[in-house]
Structure 1
Amino acid sequence: MEQLKRTLRDKASARWAMMVIVSFLMAANYYFYDALSPLKTLLQEKLNFSSQDFGIVAGFYAFPNTFLLMAVLGGIILDKLGIRPTGLLFAVFMLIGAFLTAYGATDYYNNGGFSYGLMNSFWTDYSPGLKMMSFGMLLFGLGAETSIVVASKILVKWFKGYEIALAFALNLGIARIGTALAFNLSPRLVMPDFWSAPVWFAAMLLLVGFLVFLVYIMYDVKLDRQTQTKASLIDKDEEFQISDLGKLLTNRSFLFITALCVTFYAAVFPFLKYAPDFFHHKFGVSVKTAGDIASLLPYGTVIFTPLFGWFVDKKGRSASLMIYGSLLLIFVHLMFSLTTFNVYVLMVLLGIAFSLVPAAMWPSVAKIVPEHRIGTAYGAMFSLQNLGLFGVPILAGTLLDNTNPGITPEMIEAGARLNYTPTMLMFVGFGIVGFIFALLLKWDDKTSGYGLELPSNTKTENSVS
């Protein structure tokens, strides 16, 4: 029949090409997010940042998605307007925020450059550099989280009914190459007379990612024409209703997987923000070596996440994999906190944990939530996830300052070491809470009928479409 003609998404080469294109933008996003992580000591030296100040800049990434619910609104906008206009709008926010963050780190700005006086006119307890970089990270985060929601919907659009778990896993793996390269390259891009060069490089990489996304748009238009759909219109019975949020918030499986998402990522991403500094202080390695050690986690996920994604597609066991990953996370953070066990081995194990949970979690959402509400669902998850990404870096920095009283940036530059044990035990606590929600998710799956333990393409009584 004419209606059964093949479209672009039915061609494996086209599907995977779209995954690579979208993943490149994700990698540029992740690179910028982590570009400052290996530069904590440098920020303390050049801009006189405290650990709390560093946590504020890192945490403000999540501010709009936590307190303004922008990821939820972005998901709703995505479901209403479609991939192309939503993706373009929020990619522009990312770019503006990235360049403002880089500008806030420059010597020109901090020596009285444009808008320095404005930033110095309020909240005088905080430096203008801190405020400009935080504002830039706020705008970057506003665009970045919704862009991740857009990428998730793109993968569902092209891969549902095919290799969706593997596609999500490879997407995450490629994206985390960006994180790994940020840890490797940022310390090495510092120039004596241009110390903020790593931040500018990250902003330019994001600009390249934006241009690559424009290429994806051409293929998205072609697919919509083939399937006779319009990016800005959906069927009347699928239009967004406020009651859709209510349905999500009364779905036990969705609540459990969201709570796991919040607590698990709160124990990983904020840790990565401080990981190079932690390795430098606890293990006495150089800043460059500390960045290289931290990069082992994202490099590990490049290998392990696709492997576990393939396993979920073929064998299922998503709920079980989330439990195993949560347990491994707790073990690694305990070892970091209380021992001096080989840091390279522990980072590889953390990479395995950080592959198990996402490889199983993100495709599981597509089983729990109908496709035409997937943007809203991912948006809600990312907004709640950002509660941890906002508060935990600031909490970690405050805890680090309070448990190391009297240690100044000058003393650190002279060789003083920070005690990270209380901060690391805090990450253990988040891991334990995540493990509890992973258990609850598996328990609920036994009665919900979503089939989280079944292979990706298996139909169940409560399968959503």
Structure 2
Amino acid sequence: MAQPAEKAYYRFVVLFFNCLLTFGSYFCFDMPSVLQDQFQGNLTCPNTTGTNSTTDCVEGLGMSPQEYNLLYAIYAWTNAIVVIMAGFLIDKLGNRFGVFLFSFLCVLGSSLFALGSHFKGTPYLLPLMLTGRLLFGSGNGSLTIVQNRITAFWFKGKELALAFGLTLAFSRLGSVLNFFFTQMFEEGFGMQWTLWGGAFLCVLGFTSAVIVSSLDKVGIKQLGLDGAIQEESRKVRIQDVKLLSLRYWLLVLTIMFFYNGIFPFIADASKFIQDKYSDYSQKEASYIAGAVYDSSLVLSASVGILIDFVGLRGVFAVACAVFTLPVFGLLAFTFVPPLVSTVWLGVTYSFAAASMWPSIPLVVPQATLGTAMGLATSIQMIGIGVSNLVVGQILGSKSSDKIPLWRWQRMMIFMLANTIGCIITSVLLNIVDHRQGGILNKMTKKSAQTEREEDTETLNPELDQTDEEENPQHSIN
């Protein structure tokens, strides 16, 4: 009689709780974007009772644009440092170690960030909030690696792109709800309680970590793979990085350049929309900025199914970069309604996420997948961190109600430059992939799976081929 873990429903139950791991942390990540006016608002505002009162004054934490963008930069830089070792440790010590440690860091970091907001007007505010973002970044980026590793283990050779797409959709659901509800919550309860609400959602993520860890442990034991996984973990060495191919590094650079145009833009999008298009309120600007995630939420699962079916991951990577170019051009040089650009960006983002990240398990040795994911995330975050600092420098160091349009145009030109870099690396990726067998552009899921099984067989010749076909999970992820 088949064990529950051998049935399809079991891996989808694992997937559901695995998706919930990052729901709360993705909600928290972009809370500063929605509350940018409050973060950069004045420490005090004049009384609003007189006829000549300053009704546009927003009371807040008094951060400059540079200090505000530093909240995102330190998150990215922390990820860049931590995820390299985190990926190796996950490969060495297993998913359960990673899922507990990194979900706890998300809770601790988001709590300290919320606590720091109570110290406005004091020298403790920025250090406390930056430390909170540092710990939060240490947990969230690494937690995504564990999440991807669990997904790759349970869905390799099956609905891999669909599973990655659903994982992204749940994460983006957190981001979407942030853009829809954080502003309303802030109006009703204040900024401090809003930030504590985000920390509570990270606690729910920790609860999901307990559940998915238990399901993963029981399932692996039922499949009879616990001993094999431990054996493979003992073989993992830091020197295995040398096994990563040129195709992998080009894929990582493609990811980095593409995301350099996504996250730094979203961090300042709400403020940009209010400054350039003066007829939008803060709430409306937040909704429009969040449309990037709305599109991703709606499309992720269907795009994953499409890419599982047709393959062509390398082609999609080039297409995503090319079709992203007009987005920043429209934002920089036209007054086309910004919703057009944010929805458009969300569509290309959906295809990029479903084609680029699931390509990594196809081009790296199975036993070093965590390390490879860690390096990919690290390089991605280095790029995003540099971009955040550059954007902060472009927008200026002085706190002001309105940033000049020419500064916003320079920011968009910087986003365009990153997109052009993505086009170049993705074209090189396709050339190298074609010369090495073209696994990224296989036309069907079945043919790509066959190619991957051949690679796995080469890496693990001791595995029985019949067992491999019957239990795709037999390859260690």
| TM norm. shorter chain > 0.5 | yes
> d(CA) in 2 for partners of 1:300 and 1:214?
30
Residue pairs, 1:396-415, within 5 angstroms: 396-401=391-396, 408-409=399-400, 411-412=401-402
Counterpart Cα distance in 2 of 1:355 and 1:233? 32
CA contact (8 A) 2:359 2:440 kept: yes
Verify: 1:64 aligned to 2:64, yes or no: no
Q: Secondary structure at the match of 1:341?
A: coil
> 1:292-319: CA deviations, max 9, x gaps?
0011111111222222211111111111
Where does residue 383 of structure 2 map in the other structure? Answer: 388
Tell me if 1:173 matches 2:169.
yes
Contact 1:8/1:15 (<8 A) preserved: no
Match of 1:310 among 305, 308, 325: 305
Aligned partners of 1:235, 1:300: CA distance in 2, in Å? 42
Matches within 5 A, 1:221-232: 221-230=217-226
Residue 322 to residue 31, structure 1, CA distance change in 2 (3 Å) = same
Query: What per-residue deviation string (whole Å, max 9, x for no partner) do you get for residues 381-436 of structure 1?
Result: 0011110222211211111117xxxx643x44xx9878411111111111110111
Is the 1:9–1:158 Cα contact (8 Å) retained in structure 2? no
Please say if 1:361 is aligned against 2:356. yes
Matches within 5 A, 1:15-164: 15-45=11-41, 46-66=60-80, 69-106=81-118, 109-110=119-120, 127-164=123-160
> Do structure 1's residue 262 and structure 2's residue 253 form an aligned pair?
no
Within 2, Cα distance between the matches of 1:155 and 1:319? 21
Letter aligned with residue 227 of structure 1: L
The AA in structure 2 aligned to 1:460 is: E
Name which of 187, 209, 218 aligns with 2:214. Answer: 218
How far apart are 1:71 and its partner, in Å? Answer: 0.4
CA distances 1:107-142 after superposition (whole Å, capped 9, x unpaired): xx3366xxxxxxxxxxxxxx4211111110001000
Amino acid at match of 1:328: F
Q: Which residue pairs with 2:439 in the alignment?
A: 451
Which amino acid in structure 2 is aligned with residue 449 of structure 1? G
Match in the other structure for 1:123 = none
Which residue does the alignment assign to 2:246? 252
Q: 1:427 to 1:417 in 2, by over 3 A?
A: closer
Q: What is the CA deviation profile of residues 188-245 of structure 1, one whole-angstrom value per residue up to 9, with x for unaligned ones?
A: 1114773222211111111111112211122112112112343896326961123211
Task: Name the amino acid aligned to 1:331.
Answer: P
Q: Which amino acid aligns with 1:82?
A: G
State the secondary structure of the residue aligned to 2:445: coil
Identity of aligned residues (%): 25
- Residues in 2 aligned to 1:12 and 1:443: alpha-carbon distance in whole angstroms: 37
Does residue 438 (structure 1) correspond to residue 398 (structure 2)? The answer is: no
- Does residue 463 of structure 1 match 2:461? no
Q: Secondary structure at the match of 2:327?
A: helix
Contact 1:90 1:142 in 2 (8 A): yes
Q: Cα distance 1:26–1:193, how it changes in 2: closer, same or farther (>3 A)?
A: closer
Which SS does the other structure have where 1:289 is aligned?
helix
SS of residue matched to 1:274: helix
The match for 2:275 is 281
Structure 1 residues 417 and 197 mapped into 2: Cα distance closer, same or farther (>3 Å)?
A: farther
Task: Supply the distance in 1 between the matched residues of 2:203 and 2:227 (Cα, whole angstroms).
Answer: 24
Amino acid at match of 2:213: I
In the superposition, relative to structure 1, how do residues 168 and 208 fare at CA in structure 2: closer, same or farther (>3 Å)?
same
How far apart, in 2, do the equivalents of 1:193 and 1:416 lie? Answer: 32
Distance 1:29 1:340 in 2: 34
CA distance in 1, matches of 2:91, 2:168: 22
The 8 Å contact of residues 250 and 425 in structure 2, kept in 1 or not, is answered as yes
Kept after mapping to 1: 8 A contact 2:5/2:11 = yes
What SS does the corresponding residue of 2:439 show, helix, strand or coil? coil
More displaced stretch, 144-153 vs 16-25: 16-25
Any unmatched runs of 5+ in structure 1?
113-126
CA distance in 1, matches of 2:412, 2:124: 30
Question: Who is 1:115 aligned against?
Answer: none
**CA gap 1:7/1:317 in 2 versus in 1, 3 angstroms:** farther
Give the letter aligned to residue 463 of structure 1. Answer: D
TM-score (norm 1): 0.89
- Equivalent residue pairs, number: 434
Which deviates the most, 254-263 or 392-401? 392-401
In 2, the alpha carbon distance for the partners of 1:417 and 1:252 equals: 41
Separation (CA, whole Å) in 2 of partners of 1:210 and 1:263: 31
User: Residue 472 of structure 2 corresponds to which residue in structure 1?
Assistant: none
Change in CA separation of 1:101 and 1:211 when aligned onto 2, cut-off 3 Å: same
| Separation (CA, whole Å) in 1 of partners of 2:255 and 2:388 | 16
The CA deviation at 1:26 is: 1.6
Q: Using the alignment, how far apart are the partners of 1:271 and 1:21 within structure 2?
A: 30
Change (3 A) 1:40 1:237: closer
Tell whether the 8 Å contact from 1:31 to 1:179 is kept in structure 2 after alignment.
Answer: yes
Aligned residue for 2:440, secondary structure, equals coil
Q: Specify the code of the residue in structure 1 equivalent to 2:273.
A: F
Looking at structure 1, the residues matched to 305 and 229 of structure 2 have their Cα atoms a distance apart, in angstroms, of: 34
Q: 1:382 to 1:236 in 2, by over 3 A?
A: closer
Q: TM-score, normalised by structure 2?
A: 0.86
